[in-house]
Chain A
């Protein structure tokens, strides 16, 4: 995100993350941070994205967690629902301590309602049990 100031008005430029196209979206903000105009987006996702981004920027965290008794030492996990951007590294650090027992299946929840924020870490891969 970059920002330009003109008196009480500000124009911020964001790259929309909703799809790989990466539209550059310009948003004009008034003195009380109210959105005056949004442009540069090719679809409504771009508008939704900046509205969310200004209010409460959220991201997906893709990472992995340890697996015990599995055919692989790790299983990939992610936050299917985007989480507050500012907490990414906190959750990353937290996830490094998690251990799950094999077998693990796609969709298994490995961490639920983190810090009471409704944030979930869900397995995105499969690990069978080592025999």
Chain B
């Protein structure tokens, strides 16, 4: 197998890996990102609540608290450059009843200690005026105005595409299967696509970051368990909330929240179901019931009517407790081997923290004597592929005239055109699967959930990639849609 050599190899193209890639793309370094799936952002980065948390929740003094508060700030700076849809909606932690109401004050204090700006306790009247759909039983809320919602996949994609146009190589379908350690130095990793050697490796493997650690004998006690969280997504016309609405936090986590995404769909979830299997994305009957009941406590009008999609995401839950009792991110230059930076156990609020973690990785490398020389031609900007649905009549007329492919609607509910699909296939990180196109264009996410566009999208993929229809997959190897031609021999 071929061997390739880089200055830095990042393992994992989730939000952390992609943000780190973008950060390192600023410097004169050769960088590669290895991703085991057929697309970037296939893990927990994109199947979560898509919230830029304010940072009031982590315990003061933890990396989580530091990274979250700084990351929140950075998100609002970076997102416009990368054309990542983000809205500074604010969030409300809603109290129902006297007991919960008194719980708001310690939360406020904790948030202030973490340096979160603008925190305020609101009265029942103020809360109901802001959020008329809230239960009349609400007694008050903690307002965290710096919180926001982000398009989770666009966040990963924006960072990754920007990194790619600034020279970072993304290698998909490349699962790390082994490590080459010589004289206490991590020299290379072995993948399904050959061996990659580098001076530095960044472990950003998400739910699998513990496995990378164990490959090099680092933190043998560290373990990630996956908690499955299920969500419901409603049709745009159902109802909307202005803030992200959280119930009071419990030992199990931040609870079942209600949020309206940047896309305009309201979403409820997640529950929290411990599962041993890191690839178990299934949705359960009992889980769906739990979410509905949970969300109804905040917004009584929630009902299964109007639900257009359900999904389950996995949240990594690490067991790293540097001070013996508080759980934290495991962010450090490895002490077990040279040449490895661990970004492990990045659980919630990892998405919000990612830009800060990336910034911190730069500092860590600099501290290790890595020369970070800025590129003269680094381009901070990234352009999204145009969205026909969001254009006005004049813009539509113009784009169809310039490129007739924009005149052909492939997905009728979300009004996604062939032009957008072609853009996605020929983008800096090419979309080669149905899901990869779906995530870049929102095709198939509306009322008919792909029933209409499946055959048409498969045809375009087959044509553009020079593949047969039976080779087109939903999300990489093992996920073909079609088995054979109708009249082909049955095997």
Q: Check A-B contact in the complex, CB < 8 A.
A: yes
Residues of A within 8 A of B (CB): 64-66, 73-74, 96-97
The answer for the CA separation of A77 and B240 in the assembled complex, in Å, is 50
Give 9 CB contacts A-B under 8 Å: A64-B486, A65-B487, A66-B487, A73-B485, A73-B486, A74-B486, A74-B487, A96-B487, A97-B487
The answer for the CA separation of A96 and B485 in the assembled complex, in Å, is 11
Q: Across the interface, which residues of B come within 8 angstroms of A64, CB to CB? A: 486
The answer for the CA separation of A66 and B487 in the assembled complex, in Å, is 7
Residue of A nearest to B485 (CB): A73
Q: Across the interface, which residues of B come within 8 angstroms of A73, CB to CB? A: 485-486
Q: Give the distance to chain A from B455, nearest Cβ to Cβ, in Å.
A: 12
Q: Across the interface, which residues of B come within 8 angstroms of A66, CB to CB? A: 487
Interface size for B (C-beta < 8 A) is 3
Q: Give the distance to chain B from A2, nearest Cβ to Cβ, in Å.
A: 32
Q: Across the interface, which residues of A come within 8 angstroms of B486, CB to CB? A: 64, 73-74
Residues of B within 8 A of A (CB): 485-487
The answer for the CA separation of A96 and B486 in the assembled complex, in Å, is 8
Q: Give the distance to chain B from A27, nearest Cβ to Cβ, in Å.
A: 38
Q: Across the interface, which residues of B come within 8 angstroms of A65, CB to CB? A: 487
The answer for the CA separation of A29 and B486 in the assembled complex, in Å, is 43
By Cβ-Cβ distance, the 3 closest A-B pairs, closest first, are: A66-B487, A96-B487, A74-B486
Given A65-B487, A73-B485, A96-B487, 6 other A-B residues pairs in contact with their CB atoms under 8 A? A64-B486, A66-B487, A73-B486, A74-B486, A74-B487, A97-B487
The answer for the CA separation of A97 and B487 in the assembled complex, in Å, is 7
The answer for the CA separation of A65 and B487 in the assembled complex, in Å, is 8
Q: Give the distance to chain B from A97, nearest Cβ to Cβ, in Å.
A: 8
The answer for the CA separation of A64 and B486 in the assembled complex, in Å, is 9
Q: Give the distance to chain B from A66, nearest Cβ to Cβ, in Å.
A: 5
Q: Across the interface, which residues of A come within 8 angstroms of B485, CB to CB? A: 73
Q: Across the interface, which residues of A come within 8 angstroms of B487, CB to CB? A: 65-66, 74, 96-97
Q: Across the interface, which residues of B come within 8 angstroms of A96, CB to CB? A: 487
The answer for the CA separation of A97 and B485 in the assembled complex, in Å, is 13
The answer for the CA separation of A65 and B486 in the assembled complex, in Å, is 9
The answer for the CA separation of A96 and B487 in the assembled complex, in Å, is 5
The answer for the CA separation of A57 and B16 in the assembled complex, in Å, is 67
Q: Across the interface, which residues of B come within 8 angstroms of A74, CB to CB? A: 486-487
Q: Give the distance to chain B from A102, nearest Cβ to Cβ, in Å.
A: 15
The answer for the CA separation of A65 and B485 in the assembled complex, in Å, is 12
Q: Give the distance to chain B from A15, nearest Cβ to Cβ, in Å.
A: 29
Residue of A nearest to B488 (CB): A96
